[in-house]
Each structure stands twice: as C-alpha cells, then as structure tokens.
Amino acid sequence: MDQPGLDPQEHQAALLGLARINALTRTASCFSPAIRRLAGLYPSRRLRILDVACGGGDTVRAISRLGRREGIDLEVHGCDLSEEAVALASAAAQVEGIEAHFFQADAIAAPLPSGYHLITSSLFLHHLKQSDAETLLRSMAAATLDQLLVHDLIRSHLDLVLTWFGTRLLSRSPIVHIDGPLSVGGAFQLDEVADLAAAAGLAGAQISRFWPERFLLSWSRDAPST
C-alpha cells in the first residue's frame, strides 16, 4: 500500500478491500463514545473531526452516518498522503451523498491543521517507525482542541492468523493479501504503545484492548497526568 508508483486501479482495489475489512471489524464504532461525549460538551456547536491517513474514507463516512443517525452536528474531514486515496474518498462520499472534505497532507513532515475537536487515526500507526509514530502523536495532540484517538493492530501470533485468513476472505486484492500480514508484523504491542504515548508527552493517555486484536489509544487535554 505504501509503494510509490503503485498502479491506481490496484490501489483502489486495495482500498476497497480494506474498507470491507474495516466494516466487518467495526473499526469506526470505537470512536462513537468519544463523539457522543463531545456532543454533550458542545451541545450548541458543530463538532469538527479530522481523520488522519483516511485512505478511501470509509471511517469518515461511517462517522458522518453516526452524526446523521443520532442528530449530532458534525463537520468531518479526512486527510491522506496519497492523491489517489483522496480522490477515491471524495468520490465515494459524493456517491453516498455525504458532506465531507478530503485533502492531501503529510502528517509526519508537516503540522496538522488545528481547529478540530477530535482527531482520529485508524490502522496507520503500524506503518510508521517509532520516531515517526511519536511525531504523529505529538502532531495530533498539538492540533486537537479536545481529544485524539488512535486505533490500530496489536502485534501478536493470533492477529497474524486472523489477518491472514481475513484478508483472503474479504478481498481479492493481492496487495491486501501481502499488506495485511506485513502490517501485523510492523504493529506495536501494548507496552510499546504506552511507551510511544509517554515519549510523545501524552500524560494520562488511556489504552484499551478490543476484539479482534486491536487497541484504542485515547488522550484528552483534560486528562489527569498520573
């Protein structure tokens, strides 16, 4: 997925395969409690949300649908380094009739835009080496008005087995078949995630584990520094 010069059609097929996997594992649902919390904190304001490394935009669309269902006024944006991913995400949102804004950005090389109540990232951290992962967390923390959430894989033998079978059942893309197990190998274990959060200055960050072999890192500006 990260290979430069990847054929656009193969890239799109891979992104669509990942979207099916994310839907089955209910990736976006782990962000729902935070969105509801923020809606309670800002009942008369539009919540601005940014999804970093949004890929094909399936998480952005899922968050937008949540807002529709529950009557939460959301303005949802997604950014990605890939021009192809941004184009696919924009087209998919338009087809579904979802109002969302997508833009190209390098989340490691440049600061993220500010003014978002919640900044999320899903299944991106495992693509990064330790120093870049710390940079991403610092950038998300600096840009968010209230909270950041990072959802990703846990490096384990169980996740490797689940990913090997899951990618072949849910996608015909050979890129997904290769990228899935490689992603598990590049993922962090929970103690390593805690070390990343500490190194990035996220005092009071919380890490929760959920099925299937995923974690959610949560940090808020009002988090106690224990």
Convert the pLDDT of each residue in 66-123 to its tens digit: 999 999 999 999 999 999 889 989 999 999 999 999 999 999 999 999 999 999 999 8
Q: What is the pLDDT of residue 1?
A: 47
pTM value is 0.81
| CB neighbour burial string for 216-226, b if at least 16 within 10 angstroms, e if fewer | bbbbbeeeeee
- Top pLDDT among 202 and 3 is at 202
Give the single-character DSSP code of 41.
H
More confident residue, 18 or 113: 113
Number of residues written out for the chain: 226
C-beta separation of 218 from 147 below 8 A: yes
Mean pLDDT value across the chain: 84
Q: What is the CATH number of domain 8-220?
A: 3.40.50.150
Instruction: State percent of the chain over pLDDT 70.
Output: 73
**Cα three-residue angle 75-37-104, rounded to 5 degrees:** 30
Please state, for a pLDDT cut of 90, what percent of the chain lies above it. 60
Q: Over the stretch 148-189, which tens digit does the pLDDT of each residue have?
A: 999 998 876 555 556 655 555 555 565 555 565 456 556 899
The average pLDDT across 142-149 equals: 97
Strand pairing category for 100-104 and 144-153: unpaired
Task: Say how far apart CA 172 and CA 198 lie, in whole Å.
Answer: 39
